Amino acid sequence: MLRLFKYYKPYILPSLMVAVCIITEVAAGLFLPKVMSMIVNFGVAAGNIPYIYQKGLLMLGISAIGSLAAIGINFFSAHISSGFGHDLRQLIFNKAETLAMADFEKIGTNSLITRTTNDVQQIQSFFISVLRVMLMAPVTLVFGLIMMISTSLPLSAVLLISAPALVILIYTISKQVVPAFFKQQKTLDKLNKETRELLDGKEVIRAFNGQEVQEASFESANNEWAELNLFTAKKMALMMPGNMLIQNLTTVAILWLSADLLSDKVILIGDVMAFLQYLTHILGAFSMAANMFSVVPRAQVSANRILEVLDTKSEDTDNKQEIELQGNISFRNVSFHYPDSQVEALSDLSFDIKAGEKVCIIGGAGSGKTTLCKLLMGFYQPTSGEILIDGIPLQDISAESLQKLCGFVPQKNILLSGSVAKNLRFGNVNADDEELRRALRLADAEEFIDKKDGNLRYKLSQGGNNLSGGQKQRLAMARAFIKKPKLVILDDAFSALDYKTDAIIRSSVYKEFKDATLLMITQRVNSMSDCDQILVMDEGRLEAKGTHEELMEISPTYRELVMVQQQEVVSA
């Protein structure tokens, strides 16, 4: 956790201000009983009214200073807490953007959200507690002890019993709750995951009547979280009454002991009153320190989780070439398995695509088509083999050069909340409305957008959920076309479209991007005859490559796909 201090540097000066305010507040708080005892001993006892007024005014002055110091503590602490939390969230967010896809998946979206919100919150609470408690408790303890001993040494001996009693109480409770606090953060991750799945998949869950299954797993995570909270709350509930009991017993002991001291005139009544107040301050400092046991373990877990993200190496951007690419693609014996799987998603793929070629990749579900695109986009590195673009190894090409080259339409269309124009300008921030319309026309999307309120300003809801599947696909295509890319990758981009729209878009894409390399992943064999080359994938392997006619001769998988789909068309 201490490693997080390196991000704390800008807040050292405000922290010093907090320290000054704390010392002032504690000193003021402990000086007040002293003045009060003087009023009782020399003012009240002697009936000296001017003395009482004079010391009373002094007490008012000290209280005002103490209050100003307390305001200062809150002011500077709030500044530190919100600033430091802001910085940490920004750091995690920036880091998440630069993570390699494999690392991103390893941490997981849910966990990243918890880390950016709840974990940062825990660290904020920790730093505030450290500032206040860690400083206030020892300062109170030292100053308080000095005042107590200087008031009465024999009465101070009571602390020799009550202080260890408090320490034992704090130790016994914290021993039980600390492991539970460690567990809490992990359980929260689980609860977040279940909640997200329940909400994201609500349509599927309802359609398949899967509420019971999903609710059961949500309930189990929810119960676990609630039980842990209840357990820690129950244990911590003993802390305050236990503390009060010790404080009250100590007070009784002091009053009992002072009876003799008072009658022997070893001590004055005002001193006993002041002594009792010092006691409250000191034992209060102990219970403040005890609260740290609930903050420290949670902060420790949160700090580790935040550091895990911050310590993950960003994708290597050094020694990468900034280059204008043309779109010649070569796969050389490329094999790949996902980080969380031992099964190869791609095995020993080798093929060449020349710039300007129109290539279709076809194959059954799970045959590795999308994985091939992800590798080509640089999201993952091959486990073995090499991918070259224009003869340059992919890992040596900068992300910007690759992004400039590719217009990618992923299988899962991710649209963001905001206007249609905002979504399209992801492809090119400088595109004017006419360019946006041209791209929409190409994707056969202009007509339906014009029917929406505000046309290009039409507001999409989160994930573009106020559009149909086919409309989302067409918008995602327009977003890619707007870049005027030299390599267009369409990953099953026509799957939600009817055959007619599919044919219209395909022919306009062929025309618009006649000089670009076109890579189209599809399960449909219609219009394969337009392709320069077809790659047939089967269980991660390249089963065959060639033109439609060649493949009809040599590839049983291709022949089968064509025959099945022709039968579908005839029977339709």
Summarize as ranges the residues that interact with ligand ADP (CB under 6 A).
338, 340-341, 345, 363, 365-371
Closest approach, Cβ 379 to ligand ADP, in A, equals 10
* Smallest gap from residue 528 Cβ to ligand ADP (A): 17
- Our CB check for ligand ADP shows the closer of 104 and 143 to be 104
- Compute CA distances 123 → 39, 91, 111, whole Å: 45, 14, 16
**Residue 115, token pair as written in the block:** 């880390």
Whichever of 338 and 510 has its CB closer to ligand ADP, that residue is: 338
Q: Which is nearer to ligand ADP, 120 or 490 (CB)?
A: 490
Amino acid at 169: L
Residue placing its CB nearer to ligand ADP in the complex, 75 or 338: 338
Neighbours of 534 (CB within 10 A): 24
139: tokens are: 């300062």
**Taking the complex as a whole, how short is the minimal distance between the CB of residue 363 and ligand ADP, in angstroms?**
6
Residue matched to tokens 């949670």: 298
Across the beta sheet with 541-546, the strand order is: 406-409, 487-491, 517-522, 358-363, 533-538, 541-546
Bridge partners of 363?
537
User: What angle is formed at CA 231 by the lines to CA 227 and CA 234, rounded to 5 degrees?
Assistant: 135
List 311's β-bridge partners, or say none. Answer: none
CA distance 105 to 53: 71
Q: Least distance in Å: CB of 380 to ligand ADP? A: 9
3-state secondary structure of 444: coil
Smallest distance from ligand ADP to CB 366, Å: 4
DSSP annotation of 40: I
Nearer to ligand ADP, 236 or 346 (CB): 346
Query: Min. distance of Cβ 343 from ligand ADP in angstroms?
Result: 7
Beta carbon of residue 411, minimum distance to ligand ADP (angstroms, whole number): 7
**What is the rounded distance in angstroms from the CA atom of residue 441 to the CA atom of residue 511?**
13
CA-to-CA separations, 432 to 427, 475, 482, in angstroms, rounded: 12, 16, 10
Q: Which ranges of 238-312 does DSSP label H, i.e. alpha helix?
A: 239-263, 269-311
Residue 120 or 542 having the CB closest to ligand ADP: 542
CB nearer to ligand ADP: pick between 366 and 393? 366
